[in-house]
Chains A and B, each alone.
Chain A
Amino acid sequence: MLASRLEVSTTQLIASRVNMSAAIMSSAGKMETAPFDPRFPNQNQTRYCYQSFIDYHRCQKIKGEDYEPCSYFKKVFTSVCPNDWVEKWGEQIEEGKFPGKI
C-alpha cells in the first residue's frame, strides 16, 4: 500500500517537473526530445529506455489511461527506444508475457 502510494507521488513529481521544462522548450519554438536524465549519466542508455517504458505503463495502470502526465513517459520512450523493442514489448504485454513488473 505504502509502496504504491510512494510510486504515485514520485511519478507525479517527475511528471510535473518535466512538464514544466517541456513547456519552456516548446514556448521557445524549438524541436524537443527526451532530456538528459541524471539517473542515466553513462554511455549505456538501455535502462533509460526500459525504465521509461515501464514507468509509462505503471503510470497508466495507477492513474488511468487518460491521465495526461503519463504521456511524458511515452514521449521519452518513443524518442529513446528502438521501434523494434517497443513493438516487441507491446506484443509481450498483449500476450501477458512481458517479464517486467508493471
Chain B
Amino acid sequence: MASWSSLGFQDAASPLMEQLIFFYDYAMLVIILIVTLVGYMMASLFFNKLTNRFLMEGQTIEMIWTILPALILIFIALPSLRLLYLLDEVGSPEITIKVIGHQWYWSYEYSDFLQVSFDSYMLPPNELPDNGFRLLDVDNRTVLPVNAQVRVLISAADVIHSWTVPALGVKADAVPGRLNQVSFAVNRPGLFFGQCSEICGANHSFMPIVIESTSTDAFLNWISSSSD
C-alpha cells in the first residue's frame, strides 16, 4: 500500500505492474536526457555572445533535429504499445469475479462454481481496530488465489465509479450498463489496497477496495464457508 512520503509507485504485486514500472523508468530516463540536453542548450544560448545575422539555413542540423526526435518517439511508442496490448490480454482465466460499484460501496460476485456475493463497505474510524488502516480497510475483503489468472468484470449500478488496485497495475471505469474487463495474476500473498477513482458523489473517498491474496487452499476454504 501507499505510505508516507512515497513519491514513486507502490511495489509491484503482479507481472503487469512490474512491466509498467520498467516502462516508466525507461521513459523517465529518456525524458531526463532530453530535458538535460535542451536545458543545457538554452542556458548556453542565453549566456554567450555569439551572433550570426546572415545565417539563413542549415540543412544538416534541420535533418538531425527532425529525424532524431522521430526516432526517440518510436523508441518510446513501441514499448508503450506492447504494454497497452499486454494489459488487455486475459490469457486463459482461471477465475472470474464481478465487481459492481454502488453509491458508496463495492459489491462482489463470485459465480464460477459456488455462488458468493457480498458488499464491501469501508470500516468507519470508530470500528477500526488498532492495527487497521484508516479510510482503506473494509468489512469484507475480496479474497483471491495467488498466482491464478484472475478476470475482473467491472460494472456499476448507479453512477460511474472506477475500480483500481495500483499494486496490481489495474484500473477500469465502472459504467452502468457496461461490463469492463481487467485481468491480472497476483504473484505474492498479501493485502492490496485501492480506492474509487471516479468522482461518484459525497462518499466517493470512502469506498476503498481491498484484495486479499492467499493460497488456493485458503481461498477454497474461504469461498466454501462464505457460500453457506
Identify the A interface with B (CB < 8 A).
30-36, 41-46, 48-49, 78-84
Contacts and interface: CB of A to CB of B under 8 A. Distances in A.
Nearest to B94: A31
B228 interface: no
B180 A31 contact: no
B144 to A, nearest CB: 11
B96 A79 contact: yes
Interface size band for B: 20 to 34
Contact of A43 (B94, B96, B157, B181): B181
Interface in B154-209: 155, 157, 172, 177-182
Contact of A45 (B111, B117, B179): B179
Interface of B: 88, 90-96, 98, 100, 109, 111-113, 117, 145, 148, 151, 153, 155, 157, 172, 177-182
Nearest to A40: B181
Given A82-B109, A83-B111, A33 B151 contact: yes
Given A32-B112, A35-B92, A49-B179, 6 more contacts: A44-B180, A45-B153, A46-B178, A78-B111, A79-B111, A82-B155
10 contacts: A30-B94, A31-B94, A31-B95, A43-B172, A43-B182, A44-B181, A45-B181, A82-B100, A82-B109, A83-B98
Contacts of B157: 84
Contacts of A81: 98, 179
A83 B180 contact: no
Those 4 A-B pairs whose CB atoms lie nearest each other, nearest first? A33-B96, A45-B179, A33-B112, A45-B181
**Chain A CB within 10 Å, residue with most, of B90, B177, B181, B182:** B181
Contact of A82 (B112, B151, B179): B179
Contacts of B182: 43
Contacts of A80: 96, 98, 153, 179
B87 to A, nearest CB: 9
Nearest to B145: A31
Given A46-B177, A46-B178, A84-B100, A36 B91 contact: yes
Nearest to A34: B96
Nearest to B117: A83
A23 to B, nearest CB: 15
Nearest to B90: A36
Contact of B98 (A30, A46, A82): A82
A101 to B, nearest CB: 20
B119 to A, nearest CB: 13
A36 B89 CA distance: 9
Contacts of A84: 100, 157
B96 A44 contact: no
Contacts of B95: 31, 33
